[in-house]
Structure 1
Amino acid sequence: MHIYLKRLNIFHYKKLVIASLVVGFLAALLGISLKHVTEHYENILYTRALANSLWFVIFPAFGLSLIYILRQYLFKKKENKGIKEVFDATAKNSNGLPSYKIPSHFINGMLTVIFGGSTGVEVSTVVATAAVGSLASEKETFLKRYKTELICAGIAAGVTALFNTPLAGLLFAYEVVSKKTTKPQLISTLLAAGIAYAFVLVLNEEPLFAVHITQWHLHALPWFIVLGILAGINSVYLTKCVLFFKKQFLKFNSHYYKILFGAAAISLMILVLPQLYGEGYHAIKESIAGANTLKLTPLVAITLCGILLLKPIITSVTLGAGGDGGVFAPGIFIGAFLGLFFAVILNTFFNAEVIPLNFMIVGMAAMLSASIHAPFTALFLVCGLVNDYTLFIPLLIVSLVAKYTAQSIFPYTVYSFAKK
């Protein structure tokens, strides 16, 4: 009898292995497709808007209106609730994610970003790929017990595909979603992340940011720690903004007024600072190119202050007005410019002789870690973004400092607050 049960258990794991590989491949395909389609059309529309500022007014209103129409007539009149849907699906005795969540988050996430909504497609990818895992668990009776494991497998593969690093996918599934590790989950997420990374390698996916990091100096470590503290404080500002504006937008009785107000606010802010358009990765790439030679002029100071002040607000308005996304891309964006601003101030007023590019990279990890309370995810994700591990030690230290700074000020992230 014992031998029979053991064989039955092995049989179940074989089925889980097959399901995990399929989920991993499909989630990777979904994540890479969403990333490239969004990047392609965002660049086209952003370039068009730079040539004629009138498009900065038209695009947000059109995008939010189109998302609302699709929700009303195609996606069962249900708004996407972001990563809260994943938490609900992985709760004990809960239902899985419905199939329409895959096209809903894919399409709405893309439309939000390409038409100027100041967020990213990362959370859209997470929920869509989680839905792939959830659907796989429903295809066979014995896989239903592995619903959470397959959801985490889909998420791990999706994040791996987005950022070219399987460790970030694995750690995100653990640090943010499941908070625990079981043998089936370890098997499922490892296989899914592995097949996703293999797919990334076959496609020869390039890192998001092309940087050349040669070294970092030990004398900069205290300043890195200060940057971690500043990132922790800024992350609380981002979290509070998102929670505040979501609450305010719920007071609108009409979706038309919500869209009108949201689009007007987004248009105004991107007219003032075009860097805030969409994910903002285009602005980071431009700043990376000239980071080490940047001088702190009044215009530079005003621009960077405006970015740090307005990015949390425009992200919050985008989400409150019906846009699809989360704080992944905004965290990376704010962290990059926070690090750049801090480094330039240090070099200008304190003759610190720090390397601004290094501070941009470390700032990304610090802000992301503090925003989602996942320091190890942030560490490996940012290493994957630049395809370089030179800054591993300061990235690790600052990610931990930023997380615990943020946590000591406000114990919730946008994601964990959704669980309440």
Structure 2
Amino acid sequence: MFEKLLYHIVALNLWRKKHLSQNTFIIIVAALVGALGGLVSSVLKKLTHLVAHAVQSEAVGQNKFYFYLFLPTLGLVTTVLYVRFFIRKHQFRSGIAPILEKIRKGKSRLDIHNTYSQIITSALTVGMGGSAGLESPAVSSGATLGTTLGRLFGLNYRETTLLLACGGAAGISGAFDSPIAGMIFAIEVLLPTFSLPAVTPLLISSAVASVVSHLLYNQPLFVNISKAWAMQNFWYYVVFAVLAGFYTVYYGYTNERIHKFFGNIKNIYLKALIGGISLGVLIALFPALYGEGYMNIQKLMDGNFSSLLGDSLFVKYQNVTWAIVVYALLTLWIKTIACAVTLSSGGNGGMFGPSVVIGGLMGFIFSYSVNQLGWGHLNVTHFIVVGMAASVSGVMHAPLTGVFLSAEITGGYALIVPLMVVSGIAYFINKGVRGYSIYTKNLLVEGDFQVTANRDFNLLKGIKVKHVLEDDFPVFKSSDIILDQKSKIILSKRSLFAIVDEDNRLLGIATLEQLLEAIYNPEELVNNHTFGDFTQPLSEWVNDRTPMAEVLEIMDRQNLIYLPVVNQEQKYLGFITKQAIFNKYRQRLIKQSGQYMTL
């Protein structure tokens, strides 16, 4: 059957090359990726909610607190077992960071199991109480569909990367029913060096995904907002943006510390048990932490402020103003911790959803507190919405995504000015303090790459010494007599020679000018001098594993245009020149920055 399918794919590929332009074909495939991405998002949401409904249907009365204690552990352990036994031959990684790593390394290929494994594992994790979002798994599944289709149709790196981004846009669009935010997310996060023509396929893919998702799973996240914002509250938005920006900084640092803690636990089952039990206790005390948490934000937007304590052990305090504020503060803080615990202990999900919830809680706490203290009269719903934008902008360094996502999922286009102001300030603060988004910071800690702001580093990191090694330089043993090699020296096209010992270990170098002067000056060659007599000892050299950034740093520091290369045993391999490095760099720059399409 596989051979028959492959035959049809080859036949289709041949047909489209004859009858369709490449740009037209990319548009068609982008629409297909969008439809599949919308389908994946709908299946993911439906499956997760089915799991949550199935397990929560038994949690009634006081029994629900006992369910909350063990359900997260069951979800994490089940997820770990699935990965352990069903994805044994492939690496499984959750979140957006692995996608960014693939793109930066010029390998826009994702394992095909991500199309279904991301759905299954995130449904188990989040459906059973894991405090994470479904958007990152949707992005991973959609991106995998895009890159898989690109490979099937034999598309090049840029075209495959574009389809990967189309799949990511479709994932966000389908998950949130927000096509504009999906497209902008792909541009800001996945393709920060995009070219303008790439917008068309992204638009098509994101729009189609939204339509498909809407047809299959038509449950909007939040209510529509039509009331305009009050100009006299402008400075409250500014103050809130500053506070929210610094909280996103705290969010990032907390996430790193918790990931580091669980990273030191090598036993995956022990890690899942510790994480699950910790989550169970937290959710029993703060039921709003269960799953995505959007329902709790919706209730706050509806003005039902006491609902935050309604399903908790502290329900008797739900009408006490100070108790609502304190409990909301604790929920905000614990939500930050719970999300990191979920993802660090073996669960699958994303930080996108929790960022939205955390932002909503920040907006609620700020506006509700100001109103209760009598300092102003703020629209709580409006601040919940701008809080979402602030959190997404700061945490992910995606201010436009934050603005349009919040506006689309709430219909809050009347708040476009406060959304822009708050998102910009939060992004500026987080970027100024941390420098990196929550995705790219993890990769930086792992040493995989630096962010796009330092694109030169990323390009250089992808260039290995072996890629630019030149091994056609003449090599002489130190014991060789110079006159015996006269013709080889004179006819050489190189002006530099490597001098080695009997075991091919590099001893130094000799220059063409130096040797020619000796050859044509008999007085210099009395007693049959050897190359060892004219060898210049080395001040700098590199090995075949030296990072390219370090190679260039040595060249600049010593004002060199070449460096000898040796292996770990100090045996000579060749030379690396600055010209060869720059040529390879230009090739990669053209590959990464070139037009994704020419429309």
TM-score range, shorter chain: over 0.9
Percent of aligned pairs with the same amino acid: 28
- Residues 277-288 of structure 1 mapped to structure 2, 5 A cutoff: 277-288=290-301
Report how far residue 39 of structure 1 moved.
Answer: 2.9
In 2, Cα distance between equivalents of 1:332 and 1:48: 29
TM-score for both structures, normalised by structure 1: 0.93
Shift of 1:335: 1.0
| DSSP 3-state at the match of 1:258 | helix
- Residue among 8, 26, 32 paired with 2:42: 32
Distance 1:18 1:183, change over 3 A: same
Q: Which moved more, 1:258-267 or 1:185-194?
A: 185-194
User: Does the 8 Å CA contact 1:24/1:195 hold for their aligned counterparts?
Assistant: yes
- Bigger fraction of residues in helix: 1
Q: Give the drift of 1:44.
A: 4.6
Q: Is the 8 A contact 1:292 1:357 kept in 2?
A: no
Q: Report Cα offsets for 1:17-45 as digits up to 9, x if no partner.
A: 22111111101110122123223432453
Contact 2:42 2:216 in 1 (8 A): no
> Following superposition of structure 1 onto structure 2, how do residues 15-414 of structure 1 map, counting pairs within 5 Å?
15-46=25-56, 48-49=58-59, 51=61, 52=63, 53-76=65-88, 78-94=91-107, 96-182=109-195, 185-200=198-213, 202-203=215-216, 205-290=218-303, 297-414=321-438
Matched residue, 2:572: none
Distance 1:82 1:292 in 2: 32
| Whole-angstrom CA distance in 1 between matches of 2:164 and 2:228 | 39
How far did residue 354 of structure 1 move? 1.0
Question: Cα offset for 1:215?
Answer: 2.5
Match of 2:464 in 1: none
> Which ranges in structure 1 are unaligned for 5 or more consecutive residues?
1-6
Contact 1:296 1:345 in 2 (8 A): no
Moved more, 296-305 or 364-373: 296-305
Cα distance change of structure 1 residues 95 and 21 upon mapping to structure 2, 3 Å threshold: closer
Closer/same/farther in 2, CA of residues 394 and 273 from structure 1, 3 Å limit: same
Once the two structures are superposed, residues 283-303 of structure 1 have per-residue CA deviations (whole angstroms, 9 ceiling, x without a partner) of 112222225899772311221
Larger radius of gyration: 2
1:31–1:162 Cα contact (<8 Å) kept: yes
State the distance in 2 between where 1:179 and 1:157 align. 17
Deviations 1:231-254 (A, max 9, x none): 111111111111111111111131
Q: Which residue of 1 aligns with 2:539?
A: none
Q: Deviations over 1:136-188 (max 9, x none)?
A: 11111235541110001111111111122211011000111110222552232
Match of 1:14 among 9, 15, 24: 24
Rounded Cα–Cα distance in structure 2 between residues aligned with 1:340 and 1:50: 28
- Contact 2:126–2:292 (Cα < 8 Å) also in 1: yes
Question: Could you say which structure has the greater relative contact order, defined with CA pairs below 8 angstroms and 6 or more residues apart?
Answer: 1
Task: Assess, with a 3 A threshold, how the Cα gap between structure 1 residues 206 and 60 changes in structure 2: closer, same or farther.
Answer: closer
3-state SS of 1:120 partner: coil
> Residue 79 and residue 354 in structure 1: after superposition, are their counterparts in 2 closer, same or farther (change >3 A)?
same
| Structure 1 residues 300-355: Cα deviation after superposition (integer angstroms, max 9, x where no partner) | 12211111211111111111101112221111111111111111111122430111
Structure 1 SS opposite 2:227: coil
- Contact 1:165-1:197 within 8 A present in 2 as well: yes
Q: Conserved in 1, the CA contact under 8 Å of 2:96 and 2:140?
A: yes
Residue type at the aligned position of 2:241: G
Residues 237 and 312 in structure 1, CA contact (< 8 A), matched pair in contact too: no
CA distance in 2, matches of 1:264, 1:173: 36
Q: Report the residue type matching 2:103 in the other structure.
A: T
Q: How many pairs were matched up?
A: 414
Residue 88 of structure 1 and its aligned partner are, at CA, apart by 2.5
Give RMSD over aligned pairs.
2.2
Q: Alignment partner of 2:99: what SS?
A: helix
Counterpart CA distance in 2 for 1:209 and 1:142 is 39
Output the CA distance in 2 between the equivalents of 1:366 and 1:47.
Answer: 35
Q: Secondary structure at the match of 2:155?
A: helix
The alpha-carbon distance between structure 1 residues 296 and 328, as it changes in their structure 2 partners (threshold 3 A), is farther
Query: Do the aligned partners of residues 42 and 338 (structure 1) sit closer, same or farther apart at CA in structure 2, a change above 3 Å counting?
Result: same
Shift in CA distance, 300/44, structure 1 to aligned 2, threshold 3 Å: farther
Structure 1 SS opposite 2:26:
helix
Structure 1 or 2: more strand by fraction: 2
Q: Distance in 2 between matches of 1:132 and 1:224?
A: 40
Change (3 A) 1:202 1:314: closer
Q: Distance in 2 between matches of 1:391 and 1:85?
A: 34
Distance 2:409 2:350 in 1: 18
Paired amino acid for 1:16: I
